[in-house]
Structure 1
Amino acid sequence: MDFAFMYEALIRLVGGVPLTLQLSLIASAFGVIFAVTAALMQLSDSRVLRAIADAYVFVIRGTPLLVQIFLIYYGMGQFDFIRHSFLWALLREPYWCAIFALMFNTGAYGSQIVRGGLLSVPKGQIEAARSCGMPTVMIYRRIILPLAIRQALPAYGNEIILLTKATSLASIITMMEITGVAAKMIAETYRVVEVFLVAGGLYLLINFVLSRGVAMLERRLMRHTRTDSSTRSVQRRAA
């Protein structure tokens, strides 16, 4: 094991970290919008909206992410109406093709997490809010969404970590993120083990930071439960 070469590889691979983070964070941010929208459509009373959301989730979850990236990057240019539309300014760039593919993918998987969180909200709390005269928008804003986010956050944190690892597939369409830089180094040096060990270490570090951030957010959202537990413990000891 050549540690001097691994240090050199680390210096070069760190240059791909900003692009990896950009792909992950931007796709996650827009993916949340898709996830919430698809979850609400699946839970709506409209059969048309449910059918559209179900079809979107079925297609995305049923096909590999790599195929989706190829279809967007190589396939969209086959349609004249896309090449002559404003979308072509984005779809001709591998950066935006990768973001769109990752966004659609995480939106489909995330929608099922959000849907489970929404279904976990106790019906009694919703009925109590309605009996107090709260409009539907306020019920969602003050009761349903806060409770659903607390329930869905741990699983959604896992989805963000999976998405971060999935950004490595963007290297297939010439994106020089961590895996893209690693592939270029291997083509130059034929040092597969050292390069991918360093690349794996960088992904491990990034996902460790993300997991700690999600855990901190989860503790912050659930701090009231810890306060209640500590209060009950004090009362039991006092008794």
Structure 2
Amino acid sequence: MDFAFMQEAFLRLISGVPLTLNLAFTSIAFGAIFAMLLALMRMSNLKVFDWPAQAYVFVFRGTPLLVQIFLIYYGLGQFRPTLDALGLWGFFREPYWCAVLALTMNTAAYGSEIIRGGLQSVPHHQVEAARACGMSGFLLFRRITFPIAVRQALPAYGSEVILMVKATSLASVITMMEVTGLAAKMISQTFRAIEVFIVAGAIYLVLNFLITRIIMAIEWWLSPHLRRPPAIEPRLEAAHV
């Protein structure tokens, strides 16, 4: 192992981290909104909403993300005249927006099932208790159902966030110079794949470690009932007795 070269590779690859995080968190933010809409459509008990949502989830969970990226970036280019007429070609000719769109649509499909599971796991007696207190409709959803569902779904959604950070590596196939794109470029120049990919993997590992810590902190903050009570000091306990 050439550690001097690995240090050089690290300095070059670390410049791709901002784009990696930008792709990940932009797609997660938009995907979470879309996922919530899909989850509510699935739980509406109306076929006109439920069936399209089921079809969407089936398609985007059942096909590879790489194929979805290719279809959006390369496939839609065949319809340039139509997209030009609709004023959309400026969006679809940019690899960044195509990557964000593909990642968003993919994570929305997975996220919708996570959110739906969280909403369905809300204890029925808590909903009934809120209704007995006079809550209903959106107030019940905002004050009772949604906070409990978020707490229930957060561990699984945290895994989805980590998967999306790693999935940004696929954006390199459409010329995006994030961490993996810079790694591929450096390998083509130096032909030293092992060192470069070890450094790239280490960068992703550190990023996901930090994200895991943040998610755990949020989960701890949202679950005060699971925190251990502070230990009573012996002197205070003796004085109390």
Normalising by the residue count of structure 2, what TM-score does the alignment of the two structures yield?
A: 0.93
CA distances 1:71-129 after superposition (whole Å, capped 9, x unpaired): 00011222233232232221110000000000000110011110110000011121222
Q: Distance in 1 between matches of 2:178 and 2:68?
A: 19
Q: For 1:111-130, what aligned pairs fall within 5 Å after superposition? A: 111-130=112-131
Q: For 1:129-140, what aligned pairs fall within 5 Å after superposition? A: 129-140=130-141
- Indicate yes or no: 2:45 matched with 1:48: no
Check whether the contact 1:77–1:83 (CA below 8 A) recurs between aligned residues: no
How far is the alpha carbon of 1:35 from its aligned partner? 1.1
CA distances 1:3-43 after superposition (whole Å, capped 9, x unpaired): 00000000100111110010001001011011111111100
Aligned residues: CA RMSD: 1.7
Find the counterpart in structure 1 of residue 83 from structure 2. Answer: 82
How far is the alpha carbon of 1:170 from its aligned partner? 0.2
Q: Distance in 1 between matches of 2:86 and 2:125?
A: 49
Find the counterpart in structure 1 of residue 17 from structure 2. Answer: 17
Q: Distance in 1 between matches of 2:87 and 2:222?
A: 41
Q: Distance in 2 between matches of 1:9 and 1:75?
A: 34
Find the counterpart in structure 2 of residue 31 from structure 1. Answer: 31
Structure 1 unaligned segments of length 5 or more: list them: none
Which deviates more, 117-126 or 93-102?
Answer: 117-126
Question: What is the DSSP-based 3-state SS (H/G/I as helix, E as strand, rest coil) of the residue aligned with 2:86?
Answer: coil
Give the partner amino acid of 1:230.
Answer: P
- Indicate yes or no: 2:195 matched with 1:194: yes
Q: Distance in 1 between matches of 2:160 and 2:88?
A: 28
Find the counterpart in structure 1 of residue 107 from structure 2. Answer: 106
How far is the alpha carbon of 1:224 from its aligned partner? 3.0
Find the counterpart in structure 2 of residue 162 from structure 1. Answer: 163
Q: Distance in 2 between matches of 1:43 and 1:171?
A: 37
Give the partner amino acid of 1:86.
Answer: G
Q: Distance in 2 between matches of 1:142 and 1:78?
A: 48
How far is the alpha carbon of 1:169 from its aligned partner? 0.2
Equivalent residues, number: 234
Give the partner amino acid of 1:181.
Answer: L
Which deviates more, 117-126 or 177-186?
Answer: 117-126
Question: What is the DSSP-based 3-state SS (H/G/I as helix, E as strand, rest coil) of the residue aligned with 1:45?
Answer: coil
Q: Percent identity?
A: 59
How far is the alpha carbon of 1:133 from its aligned partner? 2.8
4+ residue runs of structure 1 moved beyond 4 angstroms?
none
Check whether the contact 1:94–1:173 (CA below 8 A) recurs between aligned residues: yes
Question: What is the DSSP-based 3-state SS (H/G/I as helix, E as strand, rest coil) of the residue aligned with 1:84?
Answer: helix
